Amino acid sequence: MILETRDDAVVTLTLNRPARKNALDPESWALLREKLEALAVDDAARVVVLTGAGGTFCAGSDLAGSSAEEHPLTKMGRLGRVAITVHEFPKPLIALVDGAAVGAGANLALACDFVVATPAARFGQIFARRGLSIDFGGSWLLPRLVGLQQAKRLVLLADLIGADEARDLGLVTWVEEDAATFTASLARRLAALPPVALAQSKALLNRGVTQSLRDALDNETRAQAVNLATEDAPIAYRAFLDKVAEPQYTGRWAVR
């Protein structure tokens, strides 16, 4: 089960299977993908916070909830489609992590744009303890975040690491005692910024790590053309000239 709540332009999705430490069964993974796809095209939603109920973020996939009759390729294909939806989500996505984020649950958190952790957060690539190899995009993401040797350490030894070490490695953006309040403030800041420009920059950064400089420059040129065709670029310019502290961005297309 996944709860959805709204506070103006900020939407919070809460993984709500505390009895299973928020491990997600096939229906839950499908629901997460469905909710993110709907929010991606919902102009009223500008920022999404992903968190877990009951003092745990997510214990990964619920192996007990999987059908023994279903082919593993079918299961993994479904999981891969959810991972793509998370990685390509066009709006700012914040993981608020308390307690354990392990296995696919760890890589779900790391796929978000920002990770805000409580001091009690723990992260683990525990696949080897289950006789499995890394999944949910971790083989692609981890080396980009921490480098190849550290990625191998985390995955092959399958150790749990604390919030501070995760931050030092670059897996966590902030460790905060009052992580919920901090995340709410961060989400409001992001929601007040130009939505189209943020979406463009997010996509450029995500693609840039695997592109040449020429490809990145070409993509930046196209993105700026889109930005300049919205109401937000003129609003930002006028706000700069008039010294307006908090301009109201719309994201609306301005070409007529």
Do residues 144 and 210 make contact, with C-beta atoms less than 8 angstroms apart?
no
Same domain, 138 and 150: yes
DSSP 97: E
99 falls in which pLDDT band (50, 70, 90)?
A: very high
Burial class (CB in 10 A: 0-12, 13-18, 19+), 102: buried
The whole-angstrom separation of Cα 83 and Cα 136 is: 6
Residue 248 lies in a domain: no
Output the domain CATH number for residue 236: 1.10.12
| pLDDT tens by residue, 33-69 | 999 999 999 999 999 999 999 999 999 998 775 666 7
Strand partners, 48: 11, 93
Boundaries of domain holding 14: 2-191
The whole-angstrom separation of Cα 14 and Cα 18 is: 11
- pLDDT at residue 209, as a whole number: 85
Contacts of 103 (CB under 8 A, 6+ apart): 59, 60, 61, 124, 125, 126, 127, 130, 136
- pLDDT at residue 65, as a whole number: 58
Domain final position from 131, 165, 191: 191
pTM of the model: 0.92
CA dihedral 221, 226, 231, 233 (to 10 degrees): -10
Number of domain units in the chain: 2
| pLDDT tens by residue, 153-194 | 999 999 999 999 999 999 999 999 999 999 999 999 999 999
Output the domain CATH number for residue 154: 3.90.226.10
90-117 average pLDDT score: 98
Same domain, 26 and 116: yes
CA distances from 72 to 25, 75, 102 (A): 14, 5, 20
Least confident of 107-116, 145-154, 210-219: 210-219
Same domain, 161 and 78: yes
Same domain, 134 and 40: yes
242 falls in which pLDDT band (50, 70, 90)?
A: confident
Same domain, 204 and 177: no
The whole-angstrom separation of Cα 236 and Cα 124 is: 42
User: What is the share, in percent, of the chain residues with pLDDT greater than 90?
Assistant: 76
Compute the Cα dihedral for 143, 149, 154, 156 and give only its sign: positive
Q: Name the nearest CA neighbour of 85 among 140, 28, 22, 32.
A: 32
Same domain, 31 and 125: yes
